[in-house]
Amino acid sequence: MANVLLQRQALPATALLPQWLSGYAFLLGTPMNLDRAKQIRSDLPANIAGGTDPLRLRVDAVGDLMKLLGERVAVNARQANISIQLVSHSAPSSAGANTPAPTVGLHLFAWRYDSLSPRAELLDFARYLHSESGSESLPDTPDPEKLYAEERRLLDGRQVLPLLLLPDYVGIAPGVRNWSVSPSGEWRLADVWLDSGEPSASTAESPQSRNAAAGVHP
């Protein structure tokens, strides 16, 4: 998904918060095990989890990319004998204001990191997931161990599965040349140059980049 569909412009996500934000994301990785997935599916009754009727996956973001990612989720799930069907989403979605429809079993959404505070992001995640019980004890100052425990608690709830981390481009003026961003969202400004024949940089929009995570919310 990251290497092919997003053409190496994204990173596989293993945690809710990216490594550059929390510093412990590498501890939360879970290796992919297709056989184990098939085994779990076969142990479940056929009438749930896409055995007989497909699970409905709602894609919130507007655009072909999110739809493509949703289809990829369906293709991957099919490897584990789980049938997933995409449903269109009529209302425009925005981060932090998502309310899953009751008839939809899966929800593919993009999470925009608006803050550089891991605590604030985790609290937002918890609120989004309607799980704020543990988040009340988080200290005002960042405590990596408590943040790790809270994130572990959220992930173990199996309500959200982080899929990708990808940069968010806002806009680039036509005169900006050779501008790129690293997978972690870092601008590679050393290689950027301005075309002298084009309008000055003052006319260009300020490029903004934020990291966003796409995940599946069951």
Partner 1 sequence: MSFRNKIFLIFLATVLASVSLVAYGVTHYTESAFEQEDSQRTEALVAQFKKEFDQRGEMVVQQVENITNADVTVRMVLDLARPNADSSLYLHDANGAAQTHNLDFVEFVNSDGALISSAQYPARVGYKNDWVTASKNWDGTPAFLKREELPDGVALSLTAVRTQTVGDKVVYVIGGRRLDQNFLASLVLPAGMRALLYRNLDQGFVASALTDANGPVSQADQFQPLIEQVQKQSTPEMLVKTIQWTSDPASAETFHARPLTGRHNELLGVLLLGSPQRELVLLRRQILKTAAVVALAAIFIGLLLAWWVSKRITRPVEELANGARDVASGRWDTHIDVQGKDEIGELAAAFNHMTNTLAAQKEKLVQTERVAAWRELARRLAHELRNPLFPMQITLENLQRARNLGPSQFNEVFAEGTATLKAELANLNSIVGRFSDFSKMPAPQFTRVNVNETLRNAVRLFEPQFNAVGKPAITTEYFLTESLPEIDADPDLLHRAFQNLVLNALDAMPAGGTLTLRTSDRDDTVRIEVSDTGKGLTPEECSRLFTPYYTTKQLGTGLGLAIVQSVISDHHGTISVSSEEGRGATFRIDLPKRQQNASVKPKPEAPAAVPETDRAPAATD
E strand or H helix at 78: helix 64-79
What one-character-per-residue DSSP string does 124-161 give?
HHHHHTT--TTGGG--SS--HHHHHHHHHHHHHTTS-E
Rounded CA gap, 150 and 214, in Å? 19
**Quick one: 85 or 131, whose CB is closer to partner 1?**
85
List phi, psi (to 5°) of 157. Answer: -70, -10
**Quick one: 79 or 184, whose CB is closer to partner 1?**
79
Least Cβ distance, residue 72 to partner 1 (angstroms)? 4
Least Cβ distance, residue 189 to partner 1 (angstroms)? 24
The residues that touch partner 1, with contacts defined as CB under 8 A, are: 3-5, 7-8, 68-72, 74-75, 86
Q: Which amino acid is at 188?
A: R
Least Cβ distance, residue 108 to partner 1 (angstroms)? 12
List phi, psi (to 5°) of 191. Answer: -95, -5
**Quick one: 70 or 215, whose CB is closer to partner 1?**
70
**Quick one: 68 or 161, whose CB is closer to partner 1?**
68
Q: Are 150 and 179 in contact (CB under 8 A)?
A: no
List all residues 6 or more positions away from 168 whose beta carbon is below 8 Å from its beta carbon: 112, 185, 208, 209, 210, 211, 212
**Quick one: 28 or 66, whose CB is closer to partner 1?**
66
Least Cβ distance, residue 7 to partner 1 (angstroms)? 4
Least Cβ distance, residue 1 to partner 1 (angstroms)? 8
